[in-house]
Structure 1
Amino acid sequence: MKTFVSGSYPTVRMRRNRADDWSRRLVREVRLSADDLIWPLFVVDGKGVSEPIASMPGVARLSVDRAVEAVAAARDLGIPCVALFPYTDPAVKDEQGTEAVNGDNLVCQATRAIKREVPDIGVLTDVALDPYTSHGHDGLMRGAEIVNDETVEVLVTQALVQAAAGCDIIAPSDMMDGRVGAIRAALDEGGFAHVRIMSYAAKYASAFYGPFRDAIGTRKALIGDKRTYQMDPGNTDEALREVALDLQEGADMVMVKPGMPYLDVCRRVKETFAVPTYAYQVSGEYAMLAGAIGNGWLERERTILESLTAFRRAGCDGILTYFAIEAAQLLRKG
């Protein structure tokens, strides 16, 4: 337990250390840097394509060639890692999410191209079936049920094709029971022991995912909701159980999603486990801030940096954020 120095005004004047820029910097407890940022990117078929996403102002789906250029710019700003998500042609979606295990799908194409052209940046790939299923769920369906064990078998194959394409981090976001252990065992057996796992360990059934579903084309397709496998927003003890299980199964890093509404969960995870802990500033958080900024209700630069600093203050080692490029530019300017 921390012991606080006793004292009172006027002997103690808290404003003294706030009086100058140099003194504020000298006593700052938490710092944000480009090293703390992971930039999510949406990839789409085609060449020379940049498709704006209406519900995410300033964000676009990029064809692989454009994505490679964008990743090179991110690398030059000091961003250490990008996360890839596909907009899958509805014509190739089916109930089984077959395209997820195609070694030449959009994510695999983009991974190979990035690792070839920008090898010194990390590539994180999402493992879940929702971008590929006609029903929009993260797993396979039997009637109205999202089945667990059969889904895990497909996720293992999906992880292996992504690892073969050259990804550095596998990020299971599906919230199926036992998937981290199954993926870890398959990666190790398949010669991919070096590939890390960042588990979406505490992923909540949140209202903040809507713009992301627009970006990958699943909002209108989604049948029902995801509350039978994603977490109840009222629970935090359950989040600790999920994190403990994923670490036991071989996760190298864990994630809390969404971010800002769950900073208390981030703090509990970091204090309990002392492992690399990340948060996703999700599409709804981004759209909310970007919309307010666009309307002149919030100051752009300060809002971006303050919102990201909050994650670091809560104990996060890094943040997945659509503001990553702009934040890195601001941090470089000082």
Structure 2
Amino acid sequence: MNQYYQDNMLFGMNPSSYLHRYAVNGKVSGNLACISEIKNAAVVLYSPRGCGFHYRCHVRSGQSPVYDLECADLRNNDVIFGGEKKLTALLQKVEREQQPEIIFLLPSVVSDIINDDLAGLACSLQPQFKAKLVPITSQVFSHMDKSNGRKVLREKACQKQKQKFSSSAVYPGCGYVEVMDALVEQVMEPQSVEPLSVNIEAFVWGYNGEDKLQGMSDMLQKMGITVNAYLPAADLQTIKRAPRAALNIVRRKKWALAMEQRFGTPFLHVADMQEWHGIEGISDLYRQIGKMLGCEDAVEHVLQEEYERVAARYQELRAEFAKYKFCLIAHGIAYLPDALRVYQQDYGLPIEKIC
């Protein structure tokens, strides 16, 4: 997984987090963020050249510009009379030069307005190509709008159960989920389910995401659970075999709902990382996985061993933190309850002020 949060560590700020909360990200950036995780994939943006230039380097790709992004370079004549021939020639060039397993066709505002049928075109051209052609269907407004935001806050405020929170809101997810939906509908194939196996969505697990995913994989292996695929960070054949897993562990549930509907794969939605924080939160995560896979005893045995291994160091750090006073600077009021619980309860930090 690309180090999505590197800006925070290098500069002490994450411009994408502020853009996400206070602006509307272009969904092409979300498309590219998802596709950049897929091995041996190429991208053709069906747009004017300005879009192709702009999206080679944007906020989400600050550490890894998309230098090999290809653009159809639509002109006025193409918009009026159609750009199919130009697009076909470009796809042939991409396959010849890059030799990818998958070529993604991304729509743009222009292609959406003139209602070009990328799906139909890809279907008719597929026999000419060795690579799998995957057109992305624009889901129009991709950002989480205010009505969804209010719904999430209202449901969280009203929740009385002790179970982990997962809102009923479903939204496209800034272009990222458009690609995930396409993988479910166009690439994945029916499989015989392998018991005690999982797919893990390999995106937005916080700082040092790669290390966290590796740690999860190691823990699951001790429990007798195998990782079938990290999605979308896989090659074509692995993505095709994704429905072999008995459970999906996901951060965004829209594509997981589509996979459940098409292949019957259940999912565990990790909606808010702070809900699963600290020793208790992490233990709850694995207990929930064990319950859904029917291996609770094996999970509990490993959790007990791991707690005994880290308990002394954990208490030592809590005692060290307790010597100081802390000021909590939060993103906003909505984040305060979870943030206070994480820092006070899990870390043992005495919070004296809130900013």
Q: TM-score, normalised by structure 2?
A: 0.30
Structure scoring higher RCO (CA < 8 A, sep ≥ 6) equals 1
Structure of larger gyration radius: 2
More helix by share: 2
More strand by share: 1
